[in-house]
Chains A and B, each alone.
Chain A
Amino acid sequence: MLKKRLKQLVIYTILIGIALIVLYPIAWTIGSSFNQGSSLQSTGINPIPDQFSLNQYRKLFTETDYLHWYKNTLKIAVINMIFSVAITSLSAYVFSRYGFKGKKISMISMLVLQIIPSFTGMVAMYIIIWKMGLLDTHLGLIIIYVAGQIPYNTWLVKGYLDTIPRELDAAAKVDGAGNFTTFFKIILPIARPIIVFLAIATFTAPWMDYIFPQLVLKSQKNWTLAIGLFEMIDGEADNAFSQFAAGCTLVAIPFTIFFMLSQKFMTEALGAGAVKS
């Protein structure tokens, strides 16, 4: 009995210790965002600010382009999601259901392509985007995102579609359904878990990507949140820390809630689609 009590005491102590280590940075950041002063120096060590103030949030909206960045990021994320889902699910459908010349070689080349970190092609991407006149536009960035996710996600979605019995679409074909009708009426509804997974993945990806926005987007108004937040504390830095903390809080809270809600679904969908145990 004593041994059990002792064990509980030790474990609870460790668990609470870890909880504090996890919570302190989060509490401290949220606390800093309500700080009166802007600099890192003024925030101190106490997560609860001495003087509660919404000053930083006000400044964030009036003195920086934060709202623009938020809108830009949301816009890019939504458009990226729509096009990625449309293109990737359709091409995965073709790879899963049709035999054609060059299929095997295309699948293997996509496998090889997604191995290399995509930003190594930065120089050429810059040239293409520039020559297309898409520098400093969101369209340029979206094209890079949509194209870049195709190889990996096509494999992923194809894996899921392969598990749907072929008899279903064969029957539809016999009844006279065309290629697209079969896809929209038969395949898509059954493949919903992996499609929603794909939608969430492509929606969340642009939020915190830093590399491509800083390659394509030049003017401050066009930035995304990632560059905006990064630049806020880069360089001279430290002076705008509380503002940065406010900006982070406004991104992290909805993001975290969304994550918590979709977490269980995401792991299940991925488990069903990707890794065969």
Chain B
Amino acid sequence: MSVKGKTSSQKKNISLATIFSILFMGLGHILLGFQAKKMKSQSPKAAKKNALELYHILFFKGIIFIFIEIFALINFNSIAKAIYGLVTLGTVTGEKIMKNNDHSIFLMAEGLIIFLVVLVILAIYLYSVLDVYKINKRLATDQYFIDIDYSLKGVINDMFPYFVLSPVALMIIFFVFFPLLFSCLLAFTNYSMPYHMPPKNLVDWVGIQNFIDMFSLPNWKEAFVGVFTWNVIWAFIATFLNFFVGLLIALMLYDKDIKFTKGFRTIYILPYAIPQMINLLVWKNLLNGQFGPINLSLKAMGIIENSIPFLSDPMMAKVSVILVNLWIGAPYFMLLLTGILTSIPKNLYEAAEIDGASGLQKFRKITLPMVMFATAPLLVMTFSFNFNNFGAVYFLTGGGPDNVYPPGSGAGATDLLVTWIFELMNGMQKYHMAAVLSLLVFTIIAPFAIYNFTKTKSFKEGEY
């Protein structure tokens, strides 16, 4: 009789504690804590310790939740203000730069951070209510806590991953996640030179207008189609040309009649070893239209009379970018493919020779398939790397020559999407269009990146 009576009184507390938690996060935990303490005195000896530990934990959790809620309530005003700022992006403006003018971009950044914080608090709130509900349910069925798995030491041990990862998570959230989220939002504003630059002017939300502009306004559309087409062509040529030249060199060095291979290999690896940026800046000077030694040499040899505009003619500039990239990138494939060539079993070739296969046949039927099979994932990786190969273009041509697209877009003949984005942000300060392009690059490159990760060990081991 008495046992049954106790159970029903606890059941009453179930709803009470949960309601308390809904009203004010943490109160339910405190209430349950007292409940556990009260039950301690009525428990058999074995359960006393469990009840006491449960009491400590509940009390500890409750206090933390209460503090979080109090913190949120105290700052309610500023939270509301920040959210209001995020929604309106500022209302006060003036011709003169005044102190009380709203700075839309700061409002947006602050609003976004506060918004994220509010989301986290809401998640904690939800968790606290569910937690109370769950513990309550257990108290009702398992009144003596016999199999209780709560212990202060256990809880602290369970917290270890969070303890290590929370500073890491904070860093990623602030310096990686938040900036990217912010630039996604910029795609839906008109933040740009010259009419929407805080603190002089306000920035407004414009919905998907920028995306419409990018694909319908003639100057943007033409530049986008041009840059995008070149970007794809570039990524293909840069990847496969480098691959085949690398393969050719590796094959020549693999020939059994060739000596000094180690010496040649050491020389060929140099461009890959020297920092890429230095290579590119040196080539920029080598190809200089007026004083560059390439032009001077060709003239001295009598091959040409007038300088070749390596970097100033749109078509020539594209060829130059590809060839310089070949100079820098082929060694990587040479290194890689040499390793793969040596791993092809010799008896395959011997068997082919017995069957009377010619050198070309051996290459086509044995070498190439083996090499392609081994390098296919790496080719995909290199393709997506080249698609966004900022340095190869920026340090050599700076994206130029500039006069091929209608003015206003800021794109040049050799610009890739990434260098164009950089130019839009850094030079022209058209942040809205830069953000639009960033989102596009993301959607294009995402499948490649996901493919790459399916090739990693972390993924294949399955357990993550």
A residues contacting B by CB (< 8 A) are: 4, 7-8, 11-12, 14-15, 18-19, 21-23, 25-26, 28-29, 39-41, 43-45, 87, 90-91, 94-95, 98, 100, 103-104, 106-107, 109-125, 127-128, 143-144, 146-148, 150-151, 155-156, 158-160, 162-163, 179, 207-208, 210-211, 214, 226, 229-230, 233, 238, 241, 244-245, 248, 251-252, 255-256, 259-260, 263, 267, 273-277
Are B175 and A144 touching (Cβ within 8 A)?
yes
Contact of B442 among A23, A115, A208, A260 (CB under 8 A): A115
> From DSSP, what is the main secondary structure of chain B's interface residues?
helix
Which B-chain residue is minimally distant from A98 (CB atoms)? Answer: B161
Contact between A40 and B176 (Cβ–Cβ < 8 Å)? no
A90 near B164 with CB under 8 A, answer: yes
Excluding A7-B257, A44-B296, A127-B109, 7 further A-B contacts by CB distance (< 8 Å) are A45-B297, A91-B165, A106-B169, A117-B388, A117-B441, A147-B175, A276-B455
Contact yes or no, B457 A229, CB < 8 A: no
Stretch of B8-16, B88-96, B261-269, B361-369 lying at the A interface: B261-269
| B418 interface hit (Cβ, 8 Å) | yes
Look across to chain A and name the residue whose beta carbon is closest to the beta carbon of B266. Answer: A260
A-B contacts, 20 listed (Cβ < 8 Å)? A8-B257, A8-B258, A11-B257, A15-B253, A28-B293, A94-B164, A115-B442, A117-B418, A127-B109, A128-B178, A144-B175, A148-B176, A162-B457, A248-B278, A248-B281, A252-B278, A274-B457, A275-B378, A275-B456, A276-B460
Write the nearest CB–CB distance from A163 to chain B, whole angstroms.
Answer: 7
| Top 7 A-B residue pairs of the complex, sorted by shortest distance between their CB atoms | A121-B179, A159-B457, A124-B182, A147-B175, A124-B179, A120-B438, A159-B458
**Complex Cα gap A132–B199 (Å):** 19
Whether A120 pairs with B457 at a CB distance below 8 angstroms is no
B327 touches A21 (CB 8 A): yes
Interface Cβ pair total, 8 Å cutoff = 254
Check B269 against A260 for contact (C-beta < 8 Å).
Answer: yes
Asked whether B268 lies within 8 Å of A127 as measured between CB atoms, the reply is no
Which residues of A have CB within 8 Å of B453?
Answer: 111, 155
Give the residues in chain B near A150, CB-CB below 8 Å. Answer: 168, 171-172, 176
When C-beta atoms are compared, the residue in chain A nearest to B460 turns out to be A276
Contacts of A274 in B (CB 8 A): 456-457
With known contacts A40-B288, A91-B164, A110–B172 Cβ distance under 8 A:
yes
Return chain B residues, CB-CB under 8 Å to A114. Answer: 449
B180 within 8 A of A: yes
| Structural contact, A147 and B278, CB atoms closer than 8 A | no
A179 interface neighbour in B160, B171, B186, Cβ under 8 Å:
B160
How long is the Cα–Cα vector from A263 to B278 in the complex, in angstroms?
19
Asked if B292 CB lies within 8 Å of chain A CBs, one says yes
Report whether A127 and B106 are in contact in the complex, using a CB–CB cutoff of 8 Å: yes
